[in-house]
Amino acid sequence: MKTLLALFQPIQYYMKLTAISLGVILSFILVSCSNPADSTVDAEISEVAEPATSLSGQTYVFSENSTIGFIGSKVTGSREGGFKKFTGSFDIKDGEPESGEFTIDMNSTWSDADKLTKHLKNSDFFDVENYPETKFVATAFSKKSDGKYDLSGNFTLRGVTKNITFPTTVTQTGDSVTIAAEFDINRQDFGISYAGKVDDLIRDEVVIKLNLISQAQ
């Protein structure tokens, strides 16, 4: 009997080891395959609309502390990036946003890997040589509650213009106004269809992160 138990002990050990290894691998796969866009709101897409106007609002111009970033992902994980150069402003009247716009210099694209940054600028993605700018022009601010708005605007990326709507938070402190948002768009809507490698496909959803800090002019 003792001999039989001695024979089974190594088998039980390897079974436990295998189970632990499979658990670790499964956990890694679940984490690496998660889609960042699952945690954000999908931007609503509609036809191009007339830009919003402000006749007597105060203009607030973006400061150098503003940021525009993005998160893209594929089967094996996600990558972060953004834009180093952009300009823009919003018009505020009686504490309420009325209009605004911003323009991104696509040559200022950056990411967490130099090779990826170079790839993002070529024709597979942003095609910066032919489309050096990306632009957003606000068409409406729909107030949901104090400081919360659904912002709609004509968004031009890679030569394609769509009206997108996404939730924003507007905070005013003295002569400073911050408009913050985190949402996702579908890159296919803007003609960016590069699929990636067969065994490591790129997801269509891209998370956009805005932190637009503006100063009164």
* DSSP conformational letter for 34: -
- Is residue 12 very low, low, confident or very high in pLDDT (cuts 50, 70, 90)? low
Contact criterion met (CB below 8 Å) for 93 and 54: yes
The pTM assigned to this predicted structure is 0.84
Contact criterion met (CB below 8 Å) for 103 and 86: yes
Tell me the C-alpha distance between 71 and 75, whole Å: 14
Residue 150 has what pLDDT? 98
48-76 confidence digits (pLDDT tens): 999 999 999 999 999 999 999 999 999 88
Residue 198 has what pLDDT? 83
**189 phi, psi to nearest 5 deg:** -65, -20
Mean local confidence (pLDDT), 2-13: 49
pLDDT beyond 70 at 79 = yes
Contact criterion met (CB below 8 Å) for 138 and 52: yes
Fold of 35-216: Lipocalin (2.40.128)
Residue 199 has what pLDDT? 80
Coil, strand, or helix at residue 4? helix
Domain range list for the chain: 1-32, 35-216
